Amino acid sequence: MLSALDRQGMFVVPGDKVGVIEEFLSGPGTYVEDGEIRAANVGFLLLNLSARKVSVFRPTRLKGAACVPRPGSVVIGEVSETHQTYLLMRIWIVGPKHLSGFFTGLLHISNVGLRVRNMFNVARPGDIVRARVVSVKNRICHLSLADRRLGAIYAFCSNCGELLKARKDKKLICEACGSLELRKLASDYGETAL
Ligand SMILES: [Zn+2]
């Protein structure tokens, strides 16, 4: 099993193992079976490392219909990899609809909409990001963040995995370990119900 930090923000489906009772308390959206904590619904993991509690945030607008991202679609996904000049996302919401599978999203540094030195100041693995699809080639969605509504809507501390809080100066602070981090924030950072 992945470390707690690697699991933070991970997208899960019902039945997925999200922890063990020796390690965590079972929080909202989870259940315990034979000493293992499992996801009760579709959503993403939030590990509260100070309270040792694992929860699964349930998307509130779950709809079954299949849906394909198109140029202009606004999508939400989880960052899976961050590199110097680009990042990759697993897209699971297109407009108001939740997908049954995933599309891969690629965001290049030239489409961030801000001048940034590297993509680690835009979003990091586990962060939940809202983006717009520019084009779709070979099932890969090329993404843009060039709008105030686009960017990270939830971000997690690189140091300890706790959910980061936005300060007035737009920096993010981890209230658990005091770490300060930068992201390209959506204007409604931390307020979106998924
Ligand atoms: Zn922290």
Q: Cα(160) to centroid of ligand 1, in Å?
A: 4
Report how far residue 13's alpha carbon sits from residue 41's, in angstroms, rounded to the nearest whole number: 6
Instruction: Assign 63 a pLDDT band (cuts: 50, 70, 90).
Output: very low
Average pLDDT, rounded, for the chain = 88
Please report which confidence band the pLDDT of residue 64 belongs to, taking 50, 70 and 90 as the band edges.
very low
From the CA of 174, how far away is ligand 1's center (Å)?
5
Query: Cβ neighbours of residue 11 under 8 Å, at least 6 residues apart?
Result: 42, 43, 44, 78, 90, 92, 102
How much is the pLDDT for 66? 45
Residue range 51-72: mean pLDDT, rounded? 71
Band (pLDDT 50/70/90 cuts) for residue 1 is: low
pTM of structure: 0.68
Centre of ligand 1 from the C-alpha of residue 173, in Å = 8
Sort strands 53-57 and 172-173 into parallel, antiparallel or unpaired.
Answer: unpaired
**Closest by CA position to 173, among listed 8, 120, 182, 187:** 182
Going from the Cα of 150 to the center of ligand 1, the distance in angstroms, rounded, reads: 24
The confidence band for 65, taking pLDDT boundaries of 50, 70 and 90, is: very low
* Residue where the block lists tokens 């540094």: 109
Tens-place pLDDT, residues 10-35: 888 778 899 999 999 999 889 999 99
pLDDT at 141: 93
- The answer to whether residues 68 and 100 touch, using CB atoms and an 8 Å cutoff, is no
Residues 6+ apart with CB under 8 A from 44: 9, 10, 11, 12, 56, 57, 78, 128, 194
Question: How far, in Å, from the CA of 180 to the mean position of ligand 1?
Answer: 8
The pLDDT tens digits of the residues spanning 98-148 come to: 776 788 999 999 999 999 999 999 999 999 999 999 998 877 899 999 999
Q: Is the pLDDT of residue 80 over 60?
A: yes
pLDDT digits (tens, 9 = 90+) for 146-174: 999 999 999 999 999 999 999 999 899 99
